[in-house]
Amino acid sequence: MKAAFIPKFARYVEWPAPVRPAERDPFELCVIGHDPYGSLLDRAAAREAIEGREIVVRRLRTAEGAASCHLAFVHGASPPETGRLLVALRGLPILTITDSRAGPVRGMIHFTTVGGRVRFFIDDAVAAERGLSISSRLLALALGVRQRRS
Amino acid sequence: MKHLIGLSATRTNAPTAIIAVVALLLLAGIGIIVQNEAAYRELQGQEVRVQAEILAESVEAALDFGDAQAAQGAVEAIRVNRQVRTVGVYDAAGALVAGYGRDGDAPPPTRDVPYASTRGAVASIVPVESGSERIGSVFLAADPEPLSSRLTRYLVMALLVLMAVLVIIVLGIGQNALRRANRELEERAEALVGANAELKVQIAERARAEDQLRQAQKLQALGQLTGGIAHDFNNLLTVIQGSADMLRRPGIEEAKRMRFAEAIAQAASRAAALTGQLLAFARRQPLQPEVLDVNALIRGMIDLFDRTLGERISVITDLASTACAVEADRAQLESALLNIAVNARDAMPEGGTLKIATESRPDGESGRMVAIAVTDSGEGMDAETLARAIEPFFTTKSTGKGTGLGLSQVYGFATQSGGDVRIDSAPGKGTTVTLLLPCSRASASAQEEDQGARFQAKRTGRVLLVEDNDEVGEFAHSLLSEIGHHVEWVRSGEEALELIESRDFDVVFSDVVMPGMSGLELAEALRRLRPGLPVILTTGYSDEIAATGAGGRPVILKPYRLENLAAAIDQALDGREKE
């Protein structure tokens, strides 16, 4: 379920102009650290097309080489590991996604399960710092939102 | 006529035109309502669709992430709109994710079940797409605007149309009434014009009839006049003719000769009196007013009355001593009294009493007056005769017996003297004719004495005679020469002025009516040229003298008697001598 959600986030996020993929260029969805979804994520990414652009999935062990990523599912082996990975990505305009099963450390979107249903928190403040703009429609679905400083 | 036809045609067309306009307005109103309704339906369809699209947009993310709660939240937001009856959000498979229904209505359980539209609700289904992928659909059904509010809207429109219709009807009725009134007015005006024309014709006819009547009356009057005058004149002419014939016989005795000559003179004098009456009636007689004692004058006429009225009528007098003197023409006053007396005699064929009374009347509008009332005991007059008594030529006597001028002369004389005539009479009660004359300020006796003294003087002088008529001139010349005057005779005023330049005269005796310079003009010229020279005028009658008087100069009326002329000349010479 989460694997199906991850590529959809790209639709509700605006990247700053310099990093927005050029026409026909794909969005890069990176899985950094441990990959819990495998081919599920590949299939989900293949179903999505955002304004004519495909989504390609790259799997990275570390944060190195993540500069070209647009979305990054960060899943360290332990919560501190996840924390370190996130710190490594700080300063890059990348929508970071974390899962509560990997620890309490949160990316911009943080999955959790409530009553058997997948829900998420959104940290709009960090997203704004990185120059990302998250659609209000997505914000409306979040369990909670850390508001950006206006 | 053409105008009328045109009018009636417009009259029949007017209501038709009004009905047509009203029908057109009603049709237009209905058309507008129908069109409005259709447009409203379409608009509502669009509105519902737009609303559904907005909802689809807002539930996109919720469907994308399978968040039914979020979808329901978006749907609840629409609840505010009371008109939206039912909303349903379906996922890609067509299953209902979120929705609500109002008033027992409910969204179809799945996307593929058709919505049973109730109460004319407008429904719309729009897909929810994420990118190019269809991830669900939104169903939205809304009530149309409540009928009542729509009806209210249409009612306003209907009212407007109705008012327009009413206005047109009222205008139409008003115009119709106006047209009818106009037509009536026109008809009345035409009737009036007709009546006016008829009236004019009648007036013209009446004027013509009156003219004819006046002409007839004139002719009748002329006939009466001619008859009366001819009768009187013939009598006089018979006397004159007969006497002249007798005088021509040789060897006639002196006494007889004198009698015939006297008869001629008397007849001529009566003829003169007759023409005098005619002129007085025409008011062309210049009056010779003198101050008269009325009582003395009446006493002096008693003998004359007795002789004129005959033995069967007794004359009595009742003369008031307070009766004042009057200023009037003696001959005319005598003539007037005689005329009244003759009328009285004719009213008393069986005899009776004639009473002559004088009375002083107190100051009235025209000052103090003396009233001379002549009353007979005759048959009297009815009101009609009384009303016409003074009318000239009116007479009750048969043709040839009277001129119809008697009372007319009395009236003419009285008014010319500043007085009046009153007649009181009733059938069987006799008649009273009252002659009113204004009192004179001068005393009568002195005048009488003066006159007596004048006639005694007997002088001779140089007389300039101005007369254009040969016979009269010849006669006057011989008369004046006979009584011892030196007479020079010229035939015009111009000649007279010429002669006076070179010769001296004591008195001028001039005719008034002459071709060229008139006697009055000559007198005026002489007054400037020879202020002391007396002028005596003579005339048959003269408008000028009647109108303006002779400027204080003595006037001798034609035909004149020798003693009159002699006295006037003597008086003039006497006055000149005194200067």
CATH class of A2-16+24-146: alpha beta
* Residues A142, A128: Cα–Cα separation, whole Å: 16
Better pLDDT: B121 or A138: A138
Nearest CB neighbour to B58, from listed A5, A12, A137: A137
- β-partners of residue B289 are B329
Q: B58 to chain A: which residues are within 8 Å by CB? A: 137
Nearest CA to CA, how far is B137 from chain A (Å)? 17
Q: Residue range A12-18: average pLDDT?
A: 89
Q: What is the DSSP string of B292-326?
A: EEHHHHHHHHHHHHHHHH-TTEEEEEE--TTPPEE
Task: Answer yes or no: do A140 and B61 touch at CB < 8 A.
Answer: yes
Task: Answer yes or no: do A141 and B62 touch at CB < 8 A.
Answer: yes
Q: Residue range B304-314: average pLDDT?
A: 78
Nearest to B442 by CA among B293, B329, B291: B291
* pLDDT exceeds cutoff 70 at B543: no
Lowest mean pLDDT among B123-132, B176-185, B214-223, B358-367: B214-223
What is the model's pTM? 0.41
Task: Answer yes or no: do B131 and A50 touch at CB < 8 A.
Answer: yes
- For residue B469 the two structure tokens come to 């008529």
- For residue B159 the two structure tokens come to 């009212």
The domain ranges of chain A are 2-16+24-146
For the beta sheet containing B352-364, the strands, ordered from the edge strand earlier in sequence to the opposite edge, are B313-318, B352-364, B367-376, B431-438, B420-425
As a whole number, the mean pLDDT across chain A is 88
How many degrees, rounded to 5, is the angle at CA B175 between CA B171 and CA B181? 145
Nearest CB neighbour to B60, from listed A49, A117, A137: A137
Nearest CB neighbour to B67, from listed A47, A51, A141: A141
Phi/psi for B71 (5° steps) reads: -60, -45
pLDDT per position as a tens digit, B284-302: 556 677 888 889 888 888 8
How far, CA to CA in Å, does A80 sit from each of A68, A85, A103, A109, B506? 24, 9, 8, 18, 185
Task: Answer yes or no: do B64 and A140 touch at CB < 8 A.
Answer: no
- Please tell me the predicted confidence (pLDDT) of residue B549: 64
Nearest CB neighbour to A141, from listed B65, B132, B133: B65
Q: What is the DSSP string of B174-202?
A: HHHHHHHHHHHHHHHHHHHHHHHHHHHHH
* Residues B46, B79: Cα–Cα separation, whole Å: 19
Q: A119 to chain B: which residues are within 8 Å by CB? A: 67
pLDDT per position as a tens digit, B421-467: 888 888 888 889 999 998 887 654 444 434 433 333 367 889 999 99
Q: Which parts of A90-146 fold into alpha helices (H)?
A: 124-129, 136-141
Q: Residue range B459-487: average pLDDT?
A: 85
What structural domains does chain B harbor? 2-145 (3.30.450.20), 282-444 (3.30.565.10), 457-578 (3.40.50.2300)
Q: Residue range B14-43: average pLDDT?
A: 83
- Please tell me the predicted confidence (pLDDT) of residue B405: 62
Q: Which residue of A has its CA nearest to B57?
A: A137
